[in-house]
Each structure stands twice: as structure tokens, then as C-alpha cells.
Amino acid sequence: MKILMFSEEFGGITTTFIRNEIDYLLAEGHIIMYICNEARKINISHAGFSLHVLEFRRDSFWQKIFYKFRYYDIFFYFKNYKFGKQIKEAIYDFSPDIIHCHFFNEALILMDNAKVKSIPLLIHFHGYDASRLLKYKSYKRRIKSISNYSNVHFIFCSENMKSRIERAINRKINGAILLYGIRTDKFIPKEKRPTGQYVFLQIAKLENKKGHLFSLITLNKFLNDKSIEDRKKYKYIIAGDGSLLEKLKITVRDLALENCVEFAGAITPAKAIELLGNADVFLHHSITAEDGDMEGIPNAIMEAMAMELPIVSTWHSGIPELVENGVNGLLVHEKSIDEYISAIKSITGWPIRIKENRQKILQQFSYESHGKQLVGIYQNCKK
């Protein structure tokens, strides 16, 4: 099968799910052309893969008009003559059997510049495109309109996300639920290296919806009634980079948590596996950000569960479809410090490794399961 994939950016560290799909499809003998507006450093050396970077730019005059119209919620539209000419030529030359676009708003870049109604088109919702952007009426109108196209097929990463879109456009949608899948062969649980410390770990981009601030406030309250010596037995490792770094560092200083919190910075996949192998609990207090941004189902939680770590997270988006409260870990309501403290206290009494967590990932959230289901969706769309 010849598959054309499109997104604005390719190779970002937060979109490993795209790379996993590509690896699986190439291994199964499919041919992939990836078109994007910007590419990070990648390492895919395969005869069946080609990458085309086509810049999408407006001149300053049209950029101002575009943002003005967006501000007043008049339209949500992308049009660029030069880009349109290039992408139409690329699609014509490649002649794909199917087009797979990641993120609905980014799919509009392709759809507004190339007529693709004769080709099955999959539009894959992931997170902010199914949350933050729903505040725009013009954006919801586009979803509703495109949902009528006979060649368009939607993919959602959770039941919660599908329901959220349906409520937003006040219409039932025929769309597939495709759970994310991770490389379980790379995340193998092992005995924790003895350090004498109880380690809470979070691996995530440093942004509001990941809830780091609430974890810091909770950790501070959890440690308040402990002696100086007992406080040293606990550590919270924050791995990742992002716009909240300085704010989080200031919060750590203000709460006098310097001896209990470690910022690991941006890390490699190998370092992530090392940190997970030496952690006791994985924290991920996901919240709905002020701008409405929400998670899908965080891959980081899947990876932690594959390493058999107990999870403390929130009743947020699709997370309850992954973490069963009381079985795989504990869930609390968003921003509820009291519930969060109670969960932290309780989870420290749990076993360090929970075999059921890895079993759930192997059965429902594996790379292989995801890939097989994706190919099945492709085949159904071609009928």
C-alpha cells in the first residue's frame, strides 16, 4: 500500500507515536511518503520511505489578516498558492492509495491546498486539536463540514476524545478508536537500583496541562510533617523541557524543595528507560489548561506501566481508559490537592512493581496491536 502522511512538523520528541507507526508500516512492506512543513533530525534509512519538506508561509500582509480573522473567529482556513502547487505535484507524482493526516487543524493545511476527494483521507485527532481549538466556532464548523465528506475518515485515540468532538459539533461521528501503542520490547522492567531513596518520576513536556505545579505543591505538603532526615528519603525527578522550566524552578526554591526535586532536562529514550527502571512511582497530574488544552492518552504513562510502575494520575480525558483506579494506580480529580496527597500517601504502600500494568500494555497498548489496527483501518477506508 502507498501511504502519504502529513503533519506540520516531523521528528519532534513529543510525536514518537508517528515514528512508531512509520516503523511498523515499513516493516510490513508498505511505501510511505511523508510531507511536512518542518523536519527535525531523523534517522530513517529505508527504501520504502521518502521525506518531503514543503514550507508553508504567508507574507506579512496576509499573516496579519489571517490572525485578525482568527481573533474574531471568522474563519479557520489555510491557503497558500506556492505550497498548494508543490503539494499537488507531490500527491500526483506519488499517487497514494491513502492519505493519513495527523492533527485535524494540520490536515486543513493539506485539504485547503490540494483537492483530494478522490483519495481516502484519514484525519487523526490527538490532543490540542480535540480540546483547545474547540473554543473557535469556525474550527468546529470545519469539523462538522468535513465530517460529511465521503472520503474522509476520522481516528480518535480514546472514547473520551470522540465523545468530546461529538458534543462540540452536536453530531454523532463515524470514526475509529485507535489506542496508542508503544515499543514494549524497549521497555523491560528490572529491579530498581538500591539508592535508599523513594523516587517519584514524571517524564513530560514542561507545559501547563502536565500538572507539574500541582505535583510540587502536593509533594511539599506530603513532606511537611516529616523530619529533615525523612525528607531526604524522597525525590521527585522532573524529566523534560519546555516553557514552564523557570517557573517550576522558582516554585521549587520558594517551597524549599531543592534537596527533593531534580530537573533532568530533555532526555534521550535510553535515559527515559533508565529513569523509569529506578523509579518507584510515576506521577502525571494531567489537567485541563486555562486555554482548554487537554491530553489524549499520554504515551509516558503507557511506558511507565510497561515498566510495571504504579501510576498516580487524574480523571482526565482518556487516562481512565488506560489506568484503572485501584488496579494500575490511583486517579484523583484535577487540581484536588487533598485527593492528591491522599493518593501519594497510599501509593507509597503499594508494591514497587505491578505485573498487571505491563500485562495491560501488552494486551491493549502495544506497538504491534496499534499497527495491525491501523492497517485494518486503512483497508476498510479503501473499500
Closest by alpha carbon to 77, among 56, 99, 48, 49?
A: 56
- Is residue 270 domain-shared with residue 298, that is, in the same domain? yes
User: Is 340 among the domain residues?
Assistant: yes
Q: Which of 224, 198, 201 is nearest to 212 (CA)?
A: 201
Nearest-angstrom CA–CA distance, 26 and 301: 26
Cβ(272)–Cβ(239) below 8 Å:
yes
pLDDT tens digits for range 186-243: 999 988 888 889 999 999 999 999 999 999 999 999 999 889 889 999 999 999 999 9
DSSP letter (8 states) at residue 43: -
- For residues 305 and 376, membership in a common domain is answered with no
Instruction: Give the confidence band of 16 by pLDDT, cuts at 50, 70, 90.
Output: confident
Chain centroid offset of residue 48 CA:
26
User: What is the value of pTM for the model shown?
Assistant: 0.92
Clarify whether residues 159 and 203 are in a common domain: no
Residue identified by cell 507509597 is 348
What pLDDT, on the 0 to 100 scale, is given for residue 191? 85
| pLDDT (0 to 100) of residue 44 | 87
Domain of residue 255 covers 198-364
Domain match, 233 and 331 both: yes
Same domain (yes/no): 19, 116? yes
Is the domain of 221 the same as that of 347?
Answer: yes
157 with 69, same domain: the answer is: yes
Q: Is pLDDT above 90 for 77?
A: no
Q: Mean pLDDT, to the nearest integer, of 334-347?
A: 97
Cα 179-4-84 angle, rounded to 5 deg: 125
Total number of residues shown for the chain? 383
Residue 43 lies in a domain: yes
Give how far Cα 301 sits from Cα of 110, 151, 264, Å.
32, 34, 18
In a domain, 190, yes or no: no
Q: Residue 261 is part of a domain; what is its CATH number?
A: 3.40.50.2000
Bridge partners (DSSP) listed for residue 182? 366
Query: 189 lies in a domain?
Result: no
**How does pLDDT run across 45-60, given as a tens digit for each residue?**
899 999 999 998 766 6
Average pLDDT of the chain is: 94
Residues 213 and 349 in one domain: yes
- The more confident residue out of 69 and 312 is 312
SS3 331: strand
Grid cell at residue 246 = 523557570
